[in-house]
Amino acid sequence: MINVKEQIAALLSEHIEGMEAEELEKLIEIPTDTSLGDYAFPCFKLAKLMRKAPNLIASDISGAIASDPMFEKVQPVNAYVNMFMKKGDMALSTLNAVIAKKEKYGSMDQGEGKKVIVEFSSPNIAKPFHIGHIRTTVIGNALANIYSFLGYDVVKINHLGDYGTQFGKMIVAYRHWGSKEEVEANPIKTLLAYYVKFHDEAETHPELEEEARIAFYNLEHGEKEELQLWQWIRDESLKEFSRVYDMLGITFDSYAGESFYSDKMPAVIDELKEKGLLVESRGAQIVDLEKYGMPPAIITKSDGTSIYLTRDLAAAFYRKKTYDFDKCIYVVASQQDLHFQQLFKVIELMGYEWAKDMIHVNFGMVSLADGTLSTRHGRVVFLEDVLNKAVEKTREIITEKGVNTDQLEETAKVVGIGAVVFRELSAGRIKDYVFDWDKVLNFDGETGPYVQYTHARAASVLRNGGFDISKIDMSKLDCSYLTGDAASTLIKGIYAFPEAVAKAADDNEPSTVTRCIIDIAQSFNKFYHDEHIIVDDENERNAKLVLTFVAKQVIANGLSLLGIKAPDRM
C-alpha cells in the first residue's frame, strides 16, 4: 500500500532545501475537519529556515506541488498547505492492500528477529482472581497480540504470586481452621475466607503473625510439610484461574511464578555483594538508591527472607539468559511504579546495559463504588462472576429483542465477554476508574457490542449481496462510486489502521487500536445509512460490496488484536 505521508514528504523535499523527507513527514498532519483537506503541512518551522512569513511559504509550496497527479486540489490556508487527495486512487490502493493481506492487514515485519517478553495477569495463588486483575490481564494480552502482529517473537509469562509471607499466613490459617474437602470443593472462595479470618484473628492474637513468619521461613528453606501444603494450594488455585483464562481465550507460554526463582536468588545476591552494592541497614541487606531520588531497595529482610524485588531480580536475569529478549515488558498497576524504578536501577548499577530494554507498562487502579478492593477484608468482586453476569445479561438482551439465532449461548458468550474486555481497552490505560456494573454491561454507544454488531451487519450485507471476493476483478473495479463523503471517510479510517497498530506498540497503548476500530465502525454505519449498497448497477454494487468486505475484515483484525471475537451474526 502506498504510504501517502511518505509520498507527500518526498515531494515536499524537492521544494524545501535544508530539511530531509523523513523530517518533513513527521510534520504532516491529518486535519480533524475534513473540509480542510486530507492532509495538511504547517509551515511555521520553515520561517527561520526560509526567512519568510509562514503564510507566504505556504502559498509558494502550494503553487509548486498543486500539479502533482496524486492531488485533487492543493490550497494554502494561512500558514498551512492543505492537500486533497484523489479519492478514487486512494480508495483503490487501500482496498487492494486489505484484500491482498486480509487477516494480516495492519501487520508488519518490524519485529522480525526480535523477542519480546510480556509479563501480565500474575494473580496471587490462594487469593481471588478479582476485577482488579482484569486490566493487567486484557492489556497484557492485547499488547502480546499487537507485538506478535508486528512480527516480534512474543513470550507470554504469567508470573504467578506463589511465594512470599502471605503463604505463611495461608498455611497457618489452614492448619487452624482449614478443611481439605472445603478447599477442593471451592478453592479460591474458601482460601479467601481463611485469609480474611487470619487477619481478623491476628488483631486479637498477634502471635499468629510470628507463626506465619516461621511458616514462610520453613517454606523458603524447603521444609517438607510446608512445601507440600504450598504445592497443593497452588494446584487448586490454578484450576480456578484456568476457567477464567478459558473464558477470555487467553493462553500463556510460561506460568513460572515467584517460587520458580527461589533457588536463583542466591547467585544474584552474591553478585550484588561482589560488586559492592549491598549494604546492611537495621539487619536488612539493601542497595542504597538515595542519590537517584529513591528509597533503599531491600534485597533481604532482617530475618534473612527475600521480598519480591529479590525474586524479580532473579527473574530478570533468568529471562535475559533464557530468552535474550529485546524488550521485557511488565504490565503491572501504577501502584508499583517505584518498585520497577528500583528494579531497573539496580540492574543498571550492576553494569547491565539491557536494563534499558525493561519496560513497566503501568495502568490506573480499579475501585468499587463504595471504596477500594481489599482481599484482606474480603472486599472483592470475582472476575469470573463479572464475566458470567455479562454473558447472562447479553443472553437476556438477545432473547428480549427476539433475535433469530440457533447459537444463543455462543453469541451471548462472545458478545458479553467482549463487552467487558472492550471497555477495559477503550480508554487510556493510565486512567483510574470505578467499577460499575451498569457501565460495564451497557451495550450502547462506543462499546464492544456496537463494534461487533457492525461486523455482523457487514457480514449480513455481503450474504444478502451474494458477494464472493474471489470473483471480483480488482483491475476493473470502478472506485468513482466510492468518492462520496461517507465512503471516503470510511476508506481513510481503514487506511489509518496499520499506523494505529504501530502506534499502539510504540506507546504500549491498546486503546489506540480500540479507538481506530470504533471510528471505522461508525464510518461504516454512516456509509450503510447514506448509501444504497446492493443496487442494480453491477459496477456500483461491486465497488460498494468490496468496501463492505474490507471494512468487515479490518474490524475483525482490530477485535482480534484486542482478544475479542467478531461474530458474523448477531
Q: Is residue 242 part of a domain?
A: yes
474, pLDDT greater than 80: yes
Q: Is residue 53 part of a domain?
A: yes
Encode pLDDT of 44-78 as tens digits: 999 999 999 999 999 999 999 999 999 999 999 99
The CA distances from residue 140 to 85, 105, 106, 260, 471, in Å, are 38, 22, 19, 21, 40
Is 176 tagged catalytic?
Answer: no
Q: Is the dihedral of CA 527, 532, 536, 537 positive or negative?
A: negative
Contact, 240 vs 251, CB < 8 A?
no
Confidence at residue 433, expressed as pLDDT on a 0 to 100 scale: 78
Q: DSSP per residue over 329-365, as a string? A: EEE--GGGHHHHHHHHHHHHHTT-GGGGGEEEE--PP
Catalytic residue among 87, 130, 169, 393: 130
Distance of CA 351 to the CA centre of its chain: 31
The residue type found at 448 is G
Report the domain count for the chain: 2
Q: Is residue 46 part of a domain?
A: yes
253, pLDDT greater than 80: yes
Between 165-174, 282-291, 426-435, 555-564, the lowest mean confidence (pLDDT) is in 426-435
Burial 222-243 (b: 16+ CB within 10 A, else e): eeeebeebbeebbebbbebbee
Q: Is residue 142 part of a domain?
A: no
129, pLDDT greater than 70: yes
Q: Final residue of a domain: which of 249, 274, 308?
A: 249
549, pLDDT greater than 80: yes
> According to DSSP H, which parts of 221-353 are helical?
224-248, 265-274, 308-323, 337-349
Contact, 395 vs 408, CB < 8 A?
yes
Grid cell of 569 as nine digits: 451474526
Q: Is residue 39 part of a domain?
A: yes
Q: Is residue 26 part of a domain?
A: yes
Q: Is residue 212 part of a domain?
A: yes
Q: Final residue of a domain: which of 70, 85, 100?
A: 85
Write the CATH number for 17.
Answer: 3.30.1360.70
Is 133 tagged catalytic?
Answer: yes
Q: Final residue of a domain: which of 214, 249, 284?
A: 249
Encode pLDDT of 355-389 as tens digits: 999 999 999 987 766 555 555 555 678 888 889 99
Q: Tell me what the mean pLDDT of segment 471-498 comes to.
A: 96
Encode pLDDT of 317-336 as tens digits: 999 999 999 999 999 999 99
Nearest-CA neighbor of 328 among 564, 142, 143?
A: 143
Domain that holds residue 194: 164-249
Q: For all residues of the chain together, what is the average pLDDT?
A: 93
Q: Is residue 16 part of a domain?
A: yes
Residue 83 has φ and ψ, to the nearest 5°, of: -120, 130
